[in-house]
């Protein structure tokens, strides 16, 4: 009888003990198919970076942590799951971020905070309009009277409307705008069933890498920054500020992990997400389209405010008090704890056109030799030794002379100047203008053994 009583007491005490040890949930909604979110999503998950910085003393002495990573194909469901208290953190792009902040502020008792960025392109590269690889179309103006598809409601849709509006083309009268998902649009581009398709990253680059599509318009031409970031439920941040700081430290480390070895990062990211490593490298290598800067810059806030006005015009969206929503205290604390200078990173904005021209103008990802960097495009194109065997080339990279963007070598148009210097262009029309004004001629596709190999190998993907 006595032993039974002791047993029951032990059971009760055991239960009480378990109950007193708090379990803190860290539930994150991320997007493993959206390259811009990786530094607060898939990288943290796979490398278990948050665990490294979680508080273990003071009020956190006896707590345990439970992680819940949920993967989504867009930002909207993440907001819904955050509202339902199923997620604490969300990682998403600019438009969904605004919807997130506005939806929460529209409630009586809930709010989120925008606490860090995960990546940006200062000019808005990331969205693009692509045509089938063999299409004669080179400019947006040539799409007048044609059919173009876009995922309506996405950031790429907003960019497409603005791009045509800027040209004075009425999207209702002057062309047929169709509604297609990224996968359907990509399939139609590959099958040459649509004249053009507007989409967000990484879809345009995937089409280019697979050799099915070619960009004729890059989001950077719209000139509005494209960014992604992290939001957290305010009640969670107030209750566990140290956990939020730990998350921020992990974001900083994830960025460093990519920068330190982009080839390894691209390879691992392919393994984790399925998005090809050559595409990942285009984004995350030095000179790539994305930065991994988590600071919240004044110009990003301005861009978000602009995006909010676009959404207000397009459909009903609640107002958003940006001052109440944006909160950089956690990322600032993370920087301070890591011994880093937040204000220095805050003051720096990478401008592709100015800075990429300082880098070596061409790279090749060789299957056996890794990344080979060249001091001129012509040096890369004449490097026949590196392509002796078929299947040795993973991808090649050059910079568009017009925008400074890093692009795949096999989709570029090359101009050979009268001085023998070869310059790369994303769009043929820019290459022709350059050749006319600077003296030179367009190199025919496949005119050297290397460009021929680039194209041949691209078609093998």
Partner 1 sequence: MIRYLSIAATSIRAYKGTFVLVSLGFFVLYYAALLLATMLRFGEIPNYVVFHDIIGIYALVLQGTPSLQDAIPIMLGEAWLETGFKDPLYYGVATWSYMLIPPKMLLVAIMGMLLGLFASLTLYKRKQACLLDNDRRLFAIAGIGTTFISLTSATLTWVVCCATPSWVVALAMLGMSASLALALEPLGQALTLAGFGLMAWIICVQLKRLVVTNDLSLAT
Q: Is 437 in the site for partner 1 (CB under 8 A)?
A: no
Stretch that binds partner 1, among 79-87, 212-220, 362-370, 388-396 (CB under 8 A): 79-87
Q: Which of residues 275, 320, 331, 458 is near partner 1 by CB under 8 A?
A: 275
Q: What is the DSSP string of 218-267?
A: EGGGT---EEEEEEEEHHHHHH-HHHHHHHHHHHHHHHHHHHH-HHHHHH
- Sheet with 440-442, strands from edge to edge, namely 422-425, 413-417, 440-442
Cβ of residue 147: shortest distance to partner 1, in angstroms? 14
Q: Is 165 in the site for partner 1 (CB under 8 A)?
A: no
Tokens standing for residue 248: 């921020």
Q: Is 152 in the site for partner 1 (CB under 8 A)?
A: yes
Task: Decide whether 110 or 379 has the Cβ nearer to partner 1.
Answer: 110
Q: How many CA atoms lie within 13 A of 235 on its CB side?
A: 11
Chain centroid to Cα 27, Å, comes to: 21
Task: Decide whether 124 or 182 has the Cβ nearer to partner 1.
Answer: 182
Stretch that binds partner 1, among 47-55, 174-182, 345-353, 364-372 (CB under 8 A): 174-182
Q: Which of residues 2, 61, 315, 389 is near partner 1 by CB under 8 A?
A: 315
Query: Is residue 34 within a helix (H) or strand (E), and if so which, with residue range?
Result: none
Taken in order 424, 144, 163, 99, the sign of the CA dihedral is negative
Cβ of residue 129: shortest distance to partner 1, in angstroms? 16
Q: Is 388 in the site for partner 1 (CB under 8 A)?
A: no
**340-359 residues near partner 1, rule: CB under 8 A:** none
Angle between helices 155-167 and 94-105 (to 10 degrees): 110
Task: Decide whether 174 or 314 has the Cβ nearer to partner 1.
Answer: 314
Q: Is 66 in the site for partner 1 (CB under 8 A)?
A: no
* Cis peptide preceding 202, ω within 30 of 0: yes
**179-198 residues near partner 1, rule: CB under 8 A:** 179-184, 186-187
Task: Decide whether 87 or 450 has the Cβ nearer to partner 1.
Answer: 87
Q: Is 314 in the site for partner 1 (CB under 8 A)?
A: yes
Q: Which of residues 84, 134, 339, 368 is near partner 1 by CB under 8 A?
A: 84
Tokens standing for residue 378: 């012509």
Q: Is 313 in the site for partner 1 (CB under 8 A)?
A: no
Q: Contact, 227 vs 119, CB < 8 A? A: yes
Q: Is 260 in the site for partner 1 (CB under 8 A)?
A: no
Stretch that binds partner 1, among 50-58, 177-185, 319-327, 332-340 (CB under 8 A): 177-185
Angle, CA 289 vertex, CA 355 and CA 260 arms, to 5°? 80
Tell me how far apart the alpha carbons of residues 350 and 121 are, in angstroms, rounded to a whole number.
8
Q: Is 309 in the site for partner 1 (CB under 8 A)?
A: no
* Cis peptide preceding 386, ω within 30 of 0: no
Task: Decide whether 231 or 362 has the Cβ nearer to partner 1.
Answer: 231
Q: Contact, 404 vs 357, CB < 8 A? A: yes
The contact pattern for partner 1, residues 107-136, with x = CB under 8 A and - = no contact, is xxxx--------------------------
Q: Contact, 406 vs 280, CB < 8 A? A: no
Total residues contacting partner 1 (rule CB under 8 A)? 36
Task: Decide whether 187 or 455 has the Cβ nearer to partner 1.
Answer: 187
Q: Is 19 in the site for partner 1 (CB under 8 A)?
A: no
Task: DSSP letter for 125, please.
Answer: B
Q: Is 76 in the site for partner 1 (CB under 8 A)?
A: yes
Tokens standing for residue 27: 């539930």
Task: Decide whether 126 or 182 has the Cβ nearer to partner 1.
Answer: 182
Residue 446 vs residues 377, 413, 415: alpha-carbon distances, Å: 15, 11, 13
93-113 as b/e, with b when 16 or more CB fall inside 10 Å?
A: bbbbbbbbbbbbbeeeeebbb
Stretch that binds partner 1, among 81-89, 116-124, 135-143, 332-340 (CB under 8 A): 81-89
Residues that bind partner 1 (CB under 8 A): 32-33, 72-77, 80, 83-86, 107-110, 151-153, 179-184, 186-187, 233, 235, 273-275, 314-316
């Amino acid at each position: 009888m006595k032993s039974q009583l002791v047993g029951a007491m032990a059971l009760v005490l055991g239960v009480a003990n378990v109950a007193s040890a708090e379990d803190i949930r860290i539930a994150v909604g991320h997007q493993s198919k959206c390259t811009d979110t990786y530094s607060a999503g898939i990288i943290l998950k796979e490398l278990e970076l948050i665990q490294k910085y979680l508080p273990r003393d003071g009020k956190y002495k006896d707590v345990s942590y439970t992680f819940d990573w949920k993967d989504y194909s867009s930002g909207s469901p993440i907001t819904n799951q955050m509202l339902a208290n199923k997620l604490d953190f969300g990682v998403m792009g600019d438009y969904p971020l605004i919807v997130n902040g506005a939806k929460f502020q529209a409630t009586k008792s809930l709010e989120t905070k925008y606490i860090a960025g995960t990546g940006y392109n200062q000019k808005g590269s990331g969205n693009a309009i692509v045509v089938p690889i063999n299409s004669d179309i080179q400019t947006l103006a040539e799409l007048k009277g044609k059919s173009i598809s876009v995922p309506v409601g996405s950031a790429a849709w907003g960019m497409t409307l603005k791009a045509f509006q800027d040209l004075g083309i009425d999207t209702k009268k002057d062309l047929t705008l169709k509604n297609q998902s990224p996968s359907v649009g990509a399939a139609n581009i590959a099958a040459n069933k649509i004249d053009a398709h507007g989409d967000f990253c990484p879809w345009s680059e995937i089409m280019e890498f697979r050799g099915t599509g070619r960009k004729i318009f890059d989001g950077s031409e719209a000139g509005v920054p494209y960014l992604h970031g992290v939001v957290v439920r305010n009640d969670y941040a107030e209750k566990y500020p140290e956990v939020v700081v730990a998350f921020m430290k992990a974001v900083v480390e994830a960025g460093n992990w990519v920068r330190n070895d982009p080839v390894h990062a691209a390879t691992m990211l392919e393994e984790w997400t399925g998005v090809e490593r050559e595409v990942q490298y285009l984004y995350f290598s030095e000179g790539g389209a994305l930065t991994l800067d988590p600071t919240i810059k004044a110009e990003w806030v301005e861009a978000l405010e602009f995006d909010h006005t676009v959404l207000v015009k397009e459909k009903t969206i609640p107002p958003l008090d940006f001052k109440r929503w944006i909160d950089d205290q956690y990322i600032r604390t993370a920087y301070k704890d890591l011994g880093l200078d937040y204000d220095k990173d805050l003051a720096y904005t990478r401008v592709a056109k100015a800075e990429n021209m300082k880098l070596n103008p061409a790279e090749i990802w060789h299957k056996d030799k890794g990344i080979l960097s060249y001091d001129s495009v012509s040096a890369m194109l004449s490097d026949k030794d590196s392509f002796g065997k078929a299947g040795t080339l993973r991808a090649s990279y050059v910079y568009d002379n017009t925008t400074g963007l890093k692009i795949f070598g096999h989709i570029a148009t090359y101009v050979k100047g009268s001085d023998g210097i070869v310059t790369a262009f994303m769009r043929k029309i820019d290459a022709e203008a350059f050749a006319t004004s600077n003296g030179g001629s367009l190199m025919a596709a496949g005119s050297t053994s290397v460009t021929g190999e680039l194209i041949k190998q691209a078609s093998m993907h």
